[in-house]
């Protein structure tokens, strides 16, 4: 029986996006999975600057006709973040109802940890970030702009359905425990809704160990004892912030992969956690391992667990050998690091 060809839409994007996607794609190509790639190199800031919109209906149709999307990064200092990023990245997450942002942190090599105490380095946790609600709703308004009386409101939206489904996802991927993180001591209405959904979820999964932390305490505990965590489930903003923190515990933003998922449609958008890093774009020093580990998440999601394992082992071997970019203490370029991983894969 022949396996139907799987189609991947690739959006290299801006800044270091295309630089890290190139080696990631090269690796995917040698895996021989028979994946078909459609590269949309028009979805970027240049199109936005010329046409006022970087994601056309045709692009969206393209994505709809594929099995998954691999994205580099979106963002450029020349344009307003909210207008541009919201119409591409946030739009994709909403358009495909990718309500889970799955952000695993695994310390692939002891040397990558900033923590002094070796007993604290068994880091293997996942942030399950709600990805379609919260402060990212885009609902709000402002008045009396550019005056001392100016005021602005952004609605922090939580729905029973939205919270319950992301909690369910968190329980479904738990190996040991789920920790729910919120700020219900200060955020009144949404806080109560999250707390209620959390109590209901606990009843649905009586055999999973659970805990709850306020986000400030969670940030502290992630640094002082990251080994305590398995799955952390939280809202859109806290998940955004805490996932940069967990990335820093395991080598930094250059190492961190992510998946935007919907468990009903099974569609996935895979991207490194980092952004377009304008400060290093064009220098050839961007770490491609976050993008490469994102492809591991993608091929695993598409049913190729062995190949995902092979990619991860090749990454670990390159790190072990110090054949990495400067952010990890190496002296290789983006392309050379990609080639080092490729050599380990073969």
Residue ranges in contact with ligand IPM by CB under 6 A: 75, 85, 89-90, 240, 273, 275
Which of 48, 99, 136, 267 is the catalytic position?
A: 136
Which of 59, 182, 240, 327 is the catalytic position?
A: 240
Q: Are 111 and 329 in contact, with CB atoms under 8 Å apart?
A: yes
Q: Is 240 a catalytic residue?
A: yes
Q: Which residues pair with 159 in a beta bridge?
A: none
CB of 259 or CB of 314, closer to Mn ion: 259
Q: What distance in Å separates the CA atoms of residue 270 and residue 290, rounded to the nearest whole number?
A: 10
CB of 59 or CB of 240, closer to Mn ion: 240
Task: Give min distance, CB of 276 to ligand IPM, in A.
Answer: 9
Task: Give min distance, CB of 240 to Mn ion, in A.
Answer: 4
Residues 6+ apart with CB under 8 A from 28: 8, 35, 37, 295, 299
Q: Which of 101, 340, 132 is nearest to 244 (CA)?
A: 101
Angle between helix 305-320 and helix 289-301 axes, rounded to 10 deg: 160
Q: What distance in Å separates the CA atoms of residue 60 and residue 130, rounded to the nearest whole number?
A: 22
Which of 41, 61, 110, 216 is the catalytic position?
A: 216
Q: What distance in Å separates the CA atoms of residue 180 and residue 171, rounded to the nearest whole number?
A: 11
Task: Give min distance, CB of 93 to Mn ion, in A.
Answer: 12
Q: Is 221 a catalytic residue?
A: no
Residue 143 has which token pair? 């008045």
Task: Give min distance, CB of 309 to Mn ion, in A.
Answer: 27
Which of 183, 205, 214, 221 is the catalytic position?
A: 183
Residues near ligand NAD, by CB under 6 A: 16, 20, 73-75, 81, 85, 89, 253-254, 271, 274-280, 286-287, 290, 327
Q: What distance in Å separates the CA atoms of residue 308 and residue 103, rounded to the nearest whole number?
A: 16
CB of 230 or CB of 271, closer to ligand NAD: 271
Backbone phi and psi for residue 151, each to the nearest 5 degrees, phi listed first? -140, 155
Task: Give min distance, CB of 310 to ligand IPM, in A.
Answer: 27
**Residue 133 sits in the site that holds Mn ion (CB under 5 A):** no
Indicate which single residue of 240, 271, 307, 344 sits in contact with Mn ion (rule: CB under 5 A). Answer: 240
Q: Which helix (H) or strand (E) segment is 159 a member of?
A: none
**146: phi > 0 → left, psi -120 to 50 → alpha, else beta; which?**
left
Q: What distance in Å separates the CA atoms of residue 315 and residue 324, rounded to the nearest whole number?
A: 9
Q: Is 279 a catalytic residue?
A: no
**Residue 271 sits in the site that holds Mn ion (CB under 5 A):** no
CB of 83 or CB of 220, closer to ligand IPM: 83
Residues 6+ apart with CB under 8 A from 188: none
CB of 104 or CB of 330, closer to ligand IPM: 104
Q: Is 216 a catalytic residue?
A: yes
Judged by beta carbon distances under 5 to 8 A according to partner kind, the member of Mn ion, ligand IPM, ligand NAD, none in contact with residue 226 is: none
Interacting residue ranges for Mn ion, rule: CB under 5 A: 240
Q: Which residue numbers are catalytic? A: 136, 183, 216, 240, 244
């Amino acid at each position: 029986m022949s396996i139907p060809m799987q189609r991947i839409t690739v959006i290299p994007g801006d800044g270091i996006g295309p630089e890290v996607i190139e080696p990631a794609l090269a690796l995917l190509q040698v895996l021989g999975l028979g994946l078909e790639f459609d590269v949309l190199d028009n979805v970027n800031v240049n199109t936005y600057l010329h046409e006022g919109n970087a994601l056309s209906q045709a692009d969206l149709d393209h994505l709809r006709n594929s099995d998954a999307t691999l994205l580099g990064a979106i963002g450029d200092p020349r344009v307003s973040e909210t207008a541009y990023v919201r119409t591409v990245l946030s739009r994709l997450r909403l358009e495909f109802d990718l309500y889970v942002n799955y952000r695993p942190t695994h310390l692939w090599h002891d040397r990558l940890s900033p923590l002094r105490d070796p007993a604290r380095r068994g880091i293997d946790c996942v942030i399950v970030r709600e990805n379609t609600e919260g402060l990212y709703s885009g609902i709000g308004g402002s008045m009396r702009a550019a005056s001392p009386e100016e005021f602005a409101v952004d609605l922090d939206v939580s729905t029973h359905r939205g919270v319950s489904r992301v909690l369910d996802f968190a329980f479904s991927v738990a190996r040991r425990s789920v920790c729910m993180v919120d700020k219900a001591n200060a955020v009144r209405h949404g806080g109560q809704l999250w707390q209620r959904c959390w109590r209901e979820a606990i009843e649905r999964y009586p055999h999973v160990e659970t805990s709850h932390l306020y986000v400030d305490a969670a940030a502290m505990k992630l640094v002082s004892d990251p080994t305590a965590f398995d799955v952390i489930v939280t809202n859109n903003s806290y998940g955004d912030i805490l996932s940069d923190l967990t990335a820093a515990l395991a080598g930094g933003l250059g190492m961190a992969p992510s998946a935007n998922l919907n468990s009903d449609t099974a569609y996935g958008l895979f991207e490194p956690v980092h952004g377009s890093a304008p400060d290093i774009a064009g220098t050839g020093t961007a770490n491609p391992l976050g993008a490469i580990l994102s492809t591991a998440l993608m091929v695993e999601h598409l049913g190729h667990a062995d190949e995902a394992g092979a990619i991860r082992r090749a990454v670990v071997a390159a790190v072990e050998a110090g054949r990495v970019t400067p952010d990890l203490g190496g002296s290789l370029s983006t392309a050379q690091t990609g080639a080092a991983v490729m050599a380990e894969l073969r």
